[in-house]
Amino acid sequence: MKKKHQISKERKSGQVMLEYVVALGIFLVLVGMSALLLYVFKLYGGRVLSLMSSA
């Protein structure tokens, strides 16, 4: 049978691991969104510049 101290330590370890996984997931989503935004701006950048220069 496990002592309270061991159970508490395992729960903290699991919580820390979950927090790292969530933070990594959020980071990857932000990097992906930034890459997509950069791709779209590069793709349509010429159109935007020509639209602004014609005004």
pLDDT tens figures, 18-48: 999 999 999 999 999 999 999 988 888 878 7
Name the residue type at position 6: Q
First to last CA, the chain: 77
For 1-55, where are the alpha helices, taking DSSP H only? 4-54
Identify the pLDDT of residue 45: 80
Q: Between 12 and 6, name the one with better pLDDT.
A: 12
Identify the pLDDT of residue 25: 98
pTM: 0.63
Name the residue type at position 25: G
Identify the pLDDT of residue 19: 94
Cα separations in angstroms, 55 against 31, 40, 47 = 34, 22, 13
Number of domains in the chain: 1
| Residue 37, domain extent | 1-55
Name the residue type at position 46: G
Name the residue type at position 40: V
